[in-house]
Amino acid sequence: MDNLRKEIDCIDKELIRLFEKRMEKVLSIVKYKYENNLPILNISREEQVLSKNTDHIKNELFQKSTHEFLKNIMNISRSIQEEQFKNYTDRSDKNRCIVGFQGIRGSFSEQALKEYFGENTKTKNLNEFEDVFKAVKNNDIDYGVLPIENSSTGGISEIYDLLRKYGLYIIGEKCLKVDHNLLVTKGTKIEDIKEVYSHSQAFQQSSEFFKAYPHWRLIPYTNTAISAKFVKDKNSKTKAAVSSKKAAELYDLDILESNINFNQSNYTRFIIIGKNIEVSNDCNKISILFSISHKPGTLFSILKYFAQNNLNMMKIESRPIIDKSWEYFFYLDFEGSLRDEVIKKTIKLIEKESIYFKLLGNYKSNKI
């Protein structure tokens, strides 16, 4: 028995080697099909493969099994081709699409956009977060990139509210390390500064630094990069901005103090929003939105399904329901794929328990 098993192990090893070699050829074929606009499925070719190879079987006992074996191999090949074909199409579509972000050049949102979609992506900058949602909704842009959570200061409530308001979907995410810097015009010294401009999140993330300068006026601005441009345009030594090193380079400003954020592992999670839900094989994170009745135990009735089905809940965020004091919408992220039957069953149970429910997206997690 041991000798036979050793022989089978050797044969399995060779089968795996040949399987991998075959699938590498499949990848070459799908590239040719994509470039020449040919269909993935070629029924006559598959029938030809089945007939000419099953004829070589010497032992009739294996005739039917060999037919099934080859058919399964070709099904796997076709599945790999379909996935790769989709990847080629997605890449091509992404290259042609227009992606919006809030702010101007040099903003962290633009950086997240470039890292997710690529340097050559067509972009459109917009003034406010809501403008990005409106532009996607009205088909002025294909996707939008927005910050939703920071590792130092938590969730950005406005984005959660806008997700519900506009009914758009999360199709991806990008985690970006954020370092804030104090930017000034050339020749400015720290004692010259009277006013500092930046986004409120940047001020919060740098709050420890500003405790040493209580006499400075911290003036909230719509975006860190816009703050940098404002300081450049005003050309006053009394004004400074909190922004990125990229913004300092773009707007020819000096970095007076680097990395002023109190958390040196300061990350911002950006979401990519689109008009339609997009699900692929590598999607491993799900976001949902729901509301429940204001009664004891109702939240537990939702959360118990995660424990019962061994699902990892990654985040939960609550937002108040307007005109209903002390009642909330809950935004929840958890690991999983909509192609998993357990996940689909869990989502149906949550939806059944909820007063309001919306699936926000199933996308690939970008872990730091």
Q: Which residues pair with 315 in a beta bridge?
A: 333
Report how far residue 127's alpha carbon sits from residue 38's, in angstroms, rounded to the nearest whole number.
44
CB 137 within 8 A of CB 166: yes
Annotated active-site residue 129? The verdict is no
Annotated active-site residue 270? The verdict is yes
Q: Which one of the listed residues 101, 117, 270, 334 is annotated catalytic?
A: 270
Q: Which one of the listed residues 185, 224, 268, 346 is annotated catalytic?
A: 268
Give one word for 252, left, alpha or beta, with left for phi > 0 and alpha for psi -120 to 50.
Answer: left
Identify the three-state secondary structure at position 116. Answer: helix
Report how far residue 176's alpha carbon sits from residue 111's, in angstroms, rounded to the nearest whole number.
8
Q: Kindly write down the DSSP assignment for every residue of 174-206, as one continuous string.
A: EEEE---EEEE-TT--GGG--EEEE-HHHHHHT
Dihedral of CA atoms 258, 261, 265, 269 in degrees, nearest 10, equals: -110
CB 51 within 8 A of CB 68: no
Dihedral of CA atoms 59, 63, 68, 71 in degrees, nearest 10, equals: 100
Identify the three-state secondary structure at position 365. Answer: coil
CA-CA distances (angstroms) from residue 68 to 33, 47, 72, 321, 346? Answer: 26, 12, 6, 56, 34
Report how far residue 215's alpha carbon sits from residue 64's, in angstroms, rounded to the nearest whole number.
85
Query: Which residues are within 8 A (CB) of 276 and not within 5 positions of it... i.e. 6 or more apart?
Result: 169
Q: At what angle do helices 129-137 and 157-166 cross, to 10 degrees?
A: 20
Reference 228, options 259, 250, 211; nearest CA is 250
Task: Catalogue the active-site residues.
Answer: 268, 270
